[in-house]
Structure 1
Amino acid sequence: MVDPLWMRLPELVIVIYALSILLYFIDFVDHNRKAHSLAFRLLLIVWVLQTIFLFMYMLYTGRFPVLTLFEGLYFYTWVLISISLILHHIFKVDFTLFFTNLIGFIFMAIHAFAPVQLSSVSAEQLISELMLIHITMAILSYGAFSVSFVFSSLYLLQFKLLKEKRWQKKLWRLPDLAKLEKASFILNAIGVPMLLLSLILGLRWAIIKLPIFHWYDPKIIGSFLLLVIYGFLLYGHAKRFLFGRNLALWNTVAFLFVLINFFLISSLSSFHFWYS
């Protein structure tokens, strides 16, 4: 079967995405406002092209594109770009776009060189709103955690520059530490309930649809552990025994577990067979 021409669209997207990241890096190093402006415009083009591809893919497959790892990676990068553009409009943080989309570009590159996957699950199994909402909400929560990680990274950078009294241009382009900590907290506060709802819906679907369901599946354990980790970060921040640099460090470690859960643990799961 020959792929339609629009299936080559991600290859064009990744080239434009790479140029955008390169220009953002130039701006990061040399405070080049022209490079920043052009990078932002290219990023908008990337978002528009990605959105077009998502709609075309939905029309082609007749469903929402989140049921394979190939589809999930693409949707995840689209979520990251969307969140970064929204937060840039709200917080006006220059480096948010650069660091967030650096993560997005890495995943986009993985997607671009991965073989196209069509779900091996039967149509009857896939036609379930519970499943679609479960996967979509999980990816959205991962997107929120990813951008929260970016804000924590910027917090650590700002903290380091202030501690070393290095009064560079980068320092003045970063918001104050309190604003970075608040933004990170808000994103985690959004991501945790979304992940919780995703797990509830996923378990409900599994109990109804799967003939054999194991509660000790690695993916289930890993996802609930991830929920506990981020729940603990929210609780620690609310009770003020975890804040500032320590909170930023723990939030960075938590994001590493997001990556482990998404890639490594998913590959060990018998429950999430559509990602294999």
Structure 2
Amino acid sequence: MIEMTLGRLNEFTIILYALCVLLYFIDFLHNNRKANRAAFWLLSIVWVSQTIFLFYEMFVLDRFPVLSIGDGLYFYTWILVTLSLVLNRFLRVDFIVFFTNVLGFIMLSIHTFAPSRHYTPEISGQLISELLLIHITIAILSYGAFSLSFVFSLLYLIQYNLLKKKKWGKRLLRIGDLAKLDHMAYILTVIGVPMLLLGLILGIIWAYLTEPNFHWYDPKVLGSFGILFAYGWYFYSRIVKGMQGKSIAFLNIICFLTVLVNFFLLGNLSRFHLFS
């Protein structure tokens, strides 16, 4: 019973940590104070959850959690979370805080779902199955965000074309304002990218734990990194180079094509992926 409770606590912490990384990504791009504050409080909850586990190790099980690789990873993650809270509270170094928490998320995920002496083989197997479920859920949610972003960019181009040709009418009014369409396409991309990154991290951990034929050059894995690269170029073009309007809408549509290629084509070429 205690083993299952600890497993559920760590899974809940993983979900909170994923939301925290998402908010820190938004703050990293736009210096958003509201997102930063929300991420700070979520990270504080993660820290409390981890601290409870550490106290359980030290005072109930009477051992300091550094005597195995798994425990060492957990203590290392706790250190990273603690430093992130300190940096976020007293210094404004968003770049370091975001990537530190991505690293912390990786380490905490490995500790939570890797076979451990804390869990029986049955519970370990259940946790690995739930890892796969979380991975698939996050990945599909990210694809959903990219799909809606694609729709908004497509509507932007349609509206742009109607305005350019001066085709006034109900259709023009129903599609919406160009600025709003552009903004929604961008916001959904901002949500989709970190979700895909976290889903990819969890998927790689699951593959390492369960699939002896897993390789980094698997088409599905390379395709997922290709999506991240494409949308990374989208952010660079929009934020750094200042690309706007019709050009950035076209670029977003091209980025979505990489999502379709990865999902429908590369998934069928993968040797281990669930969708193959």
Which whole-Å deviations, capped at 9, do the CAs of 1:33-81 have from their partners, x for residues lacking one? xxxxxxxxxxxxxxxxxxxxxxxxxxxxxxxxxxxxxxxxxxxxxxxxx
Higher-Rg structure is: 2
Q: Point out where structure 1 has 5 or more consecutive residues left out of the alignment.
A: 1-123
8 Å Cα contact 2:226-2:258 kept in structure 1: no
CA distance in 1 between counterparts of 2:210 and 2:164 reads 55
Q: Which residue of structure 1 lines up, in the alignment, with residue 187 of structure 2?
A: 186
Amino acid at match of 2:231: Y
Tell me the SS of whatever aligns to 1:275.
coil
Deviation at 1:125, TM superposition (A): 8.6
- Tell me the CA shift for residue 253 of structure 1: 1.6
1:210 alignment counterpart:
211
Maintained 8 Å contact 1:219/1:271: no
The number of aligned residues is 153
Distance 1:168 1:242 in 2: 29
TM-superposed CA distance for 1:127, in Å, is 4.7
Shift of 1:240: 4.5
**Contact conserved, 1:233 with 1:242, CA < 8 A, in 2?**
no
Aligned partners of 1:197, 1:238: CA distance in 2, in Å? 22
Deviation of 1:148 after TM superposition, in Å, equals 0.4
Contact (CA 8 Å) 2:132, 2:203: kept in 1 or not?
Answer: yes
Q: Decide whether aligned partners of structure 1 residues 176 and 240 sit closer, same or farther in structure 2, where only a CA change above 3 A counts.
A: farther
Measured against aligned partners, the alpha-carbon deviations of 1:125-146 in whole angstroms (never above 9, x if no partner) come to: 9952221111111100000000
Q: Deviations over 1:183-230 (max 9, x none)?
A: 000000000000000001111111122223211000000010011111
The whole-number CA distance in structure 1 between the counterparts of 2:195 and 2:128 is 22
TM-score, structure 1 as length reference: 0.52
Residues in 1 aligned to 2:127 and 2:224: alpha-carbon distance in whole angstroms: 21
Match of 2:214, SS? coil
1:1-276 correspondence runs (5 A): 127-272=128-273, 274-276=274-276
In structure 1, C-alpha distance between the alignment counterparts of 2:265 and 2:247, rounded to whole Å: 27
Deviations 1:136-176 (A, max 9, x none): 11100000000101100110011001111111221122222
Describe the SS at the equivalent of 1:182.
helix
Task: Give the distance between the partners of 1:128 and 1:156, measured in 2 at CA.
Answer: 42
Any gaps of 5 or more consecutive residues in structure 2?
A: 1-124
What is the CA distance between 1:182 and its match in structure 2?
0.4
Q: What percent of counterpart residues are identical?
A: 59
With 182-191 and 203-212 compared, the bigger mean Cα shift is at: 203-212
Paired with 2:253 and 2:230, the residues of 1 have a C-alpha distance of 12
Residue 188 of structure 1 contacts residue 234 of structure 1 at CA under 8 Å; is this kept in 2? no
Q: Aligned equivalents of 2:137 and 2:174: distance in 1? A: 34
- Give the whole-Å Cα distance in 2 for the aligned partners of 1:223 and 1:258: 8
CA distance in 2, matches of 1:203, 1:268: 17
